[in-house]
């Protein structure tokens, strides 16, 4: 077992669904097998316009021959492990290469950077995940106040960089996953409610919109952008309770069980459809939309 980097682009010729599977030719089989049972990081190459860099992490459950295409194989992703980074990590961060294992003895980028699948050192894995998960600014202690008022003061301990295995424990933490899901969904939707079209920012600069799962986590819904939409509090409440839903073409449906359908319809943006991100990969997937309509929406 070992960590790895899988290069993926949305316009790939391969049959990839990053949260479910990664298709690759036989030439990479040995490298991918080395990642079996361990975690990998997805990288969108720098050649892609507006590249996201290192954009997600997932655990490889198993490696199997592709039953639909000869000479191709699949890295099957363990359900519930895929996680988009709340803060995608650029290939170069603060003028340094994040993936230090790509540097040769002269400190230059080696030919390994061209490989679509490559091993990743535990140190590089921990560094990328550290940057990708972002910081918990809202739970950090306030600093500077005690010393200024003559309060207690302790010598600051040196910062210890989390190990790769410590970071893995965070990847399955519900609070961490929820925070990253919110970041990725709100960024994709430009902090705008997809039903009402409103983009409201409070006095503290925080978006008054929430990240809603289309297929809920408790019903095996994954923490991926295509299973999320940005909704205002009221729209989120109605969506979760099935008072509004979505058709296959993403038109907003209003339940007959709504006690004031005219008021609800007046909240929907003028197009009558969900306002979705430009990137096709970030738009709601049909399977999640139909699941919500069949299992949550009150017809």
- Per-residue pLDDT at 201: 77
At residue 135 the predicted structure's pLDDT band, cuts being 50, 70 and 90, is low
Same domain, 7 and 125: yes
Higher per-residue pLDDT: 149 or 269: 269
Of 83, 116, 133, the one marking the end of a domain is: 133
Same domain, 229 and 291: yes
Same domain, 180 and 99: no
Judged against a pLDDT cut of 60, whether residue 152 lies above it is answered with no
Q: Given the structure tokens 């004031």, which residue do they identify?
A: 260
The stretch 261-275 carries a mean pLDDT of: 96
At residue 161 the predicted structure's pLDDT band, cuts being 50, 70 and 90, is low
Judged against a pLDDT cut of 80, whether residue 215 lies above it is answered with yes
Strand segments, DSSP code E, in 214-270 are 228-231, 244-246, 252-254
Residue at 168 is within a domain: no
- Per-residue pLDDT at 145: 36
Same domain, 110 and 15: yes
Structurally, how many domains does the chain consist of? 2
At residue 188 the predicted structure's pLDDT band, cuts being 50, 70 and 90, is very high
Contacts of 179 (CB under 8 A, 6+ apart): 86, 134, 136
Cβ-contact 183, 134 below 8 angstroms: yes
Same domain, 202 and 95: no
Range of the structural domain that residue 258 is part of? 175-295
Higher per-residue pLDDT: 201 or 104: 104
Q: Given the structure tokens 């199997």, which residue do they identify?
A: 64
Of 80, 110, 133, the one marking the end of a domain is: 133
Same domain, 112 and 32: yes
If you average pLDDT over every residue of the chain, what do you get? 88
């Amino acid at each position: 077992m070992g960590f790895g980097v899988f290069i993926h682009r949305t316009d790939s010729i391969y049959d990839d669904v990053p949260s479910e599977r990664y298709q690759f030719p036989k030439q990479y089989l040995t490298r991918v097998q080395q990642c079996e049972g361990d975690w990998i990081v997805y990288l969108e190459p720098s050649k892609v316009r507006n590249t996201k860099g290192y954009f997600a992490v997932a655990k490889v459950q198993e490696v199997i021959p592709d039953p639909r295409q000869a000479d191709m194989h699949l890295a099957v992703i363990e359900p519930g492990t895929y996680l988009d980074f709340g803060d995608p990590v650029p290939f170069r961060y603060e003028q340094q290469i994040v993936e230090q294992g790509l540097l040769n003895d002269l400190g230059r980028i080696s030919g390994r950077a061209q490989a679509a699948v490559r091993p990743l050192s535990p140190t590089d894995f921990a560094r990328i995940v550290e940057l990708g998960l972002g910081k918990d600014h809202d739970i950090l202690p306030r600093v500077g106040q005690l010393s200024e008022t003559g309060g207690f003061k302790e010598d600051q301990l040196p910062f210890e960089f989390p190990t790769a295995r410590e970071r893995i424990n965070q990847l399955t933490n519900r609070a961490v996953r929820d925070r990253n899901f919110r970041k990725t969904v709100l960024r994709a939707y430009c902090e705008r409610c997809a039903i009402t079209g409103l983009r409201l920012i409070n006095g503290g600069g925080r978006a008054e919109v929430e990240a809603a799962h289309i297929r809920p986590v408790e019903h095996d819904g994954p923490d991926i952008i295509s299973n999320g939409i940005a909704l205002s509090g009221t729209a989120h409440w109605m969506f979760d309770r099935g008072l509004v839903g979505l058709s296959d073409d993403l038109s907003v449906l209003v339940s007959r069980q709504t006690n004031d359908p005219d008021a609800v319809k007046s909240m929907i943006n003028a197009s009558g459809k969900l306002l979705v991100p430009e990137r096709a990969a970030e738009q709601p997937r049909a399977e999640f939309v139909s699941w919500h309509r069949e299992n949550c929406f009150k017809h």
